[in-house]
């Protein structure tokens, strides 16, 4: 397998990712506007984007920090909010249940 740069593959991949990129740009702008509207600057946007894995929790987090929520309530809200991924994974048990330690990518 060659690891050389393949321009045709790059161009094809870029074209396929444009819709996703456009979505992230719109969502990022919305997040920035929401954060700025609550009086927080670009440093907050950078830190929240870098440290919060669940993107939708960033939006919830703005409301929590703007409302003066405690660290414990923020942690518990994040935990409960992300528990939805447990339910998402249940649907994958039949597909990946017998894969053992090696999962298909």
Q: What is the pLDDT of residue 41?
A: 92
DSSP the chain: ---S--HHHHHHHHHHHHHHHHHHHHHHHHHHHHHHHTT--HHHHHHHHHH-SSHHHHHHHHHHHHTT--HHHHHHHHHHHHTHHHHHHHTTHHHHTT-TT----
| pTM > 0.95 | no
Residue 104 has pLDDT above 80, yes or no: no
């Amino acid at each position: 397998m060659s690891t050389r740069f393949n321009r045709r593959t790059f161009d094809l991949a870029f074209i396929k990712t444009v819709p996703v990129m456009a979505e992230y740009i719109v969502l990022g702008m919305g997040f920035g506007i929401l954060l700025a509207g609550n009086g927080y600057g670009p440093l907050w946007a950078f830190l929240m984007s870098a440290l919060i894995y669940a993107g939708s929790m960033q939006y919830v987090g703005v409301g929590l920090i703007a409302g003066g929520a405690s660290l414990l309530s923020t942690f518990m809200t994040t935990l409960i909010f992300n528990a939805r991924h447990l339910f998402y994974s249940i649907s994958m048990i039949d597909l990946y249940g017998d894969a053992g330690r090696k999962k298909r990518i």
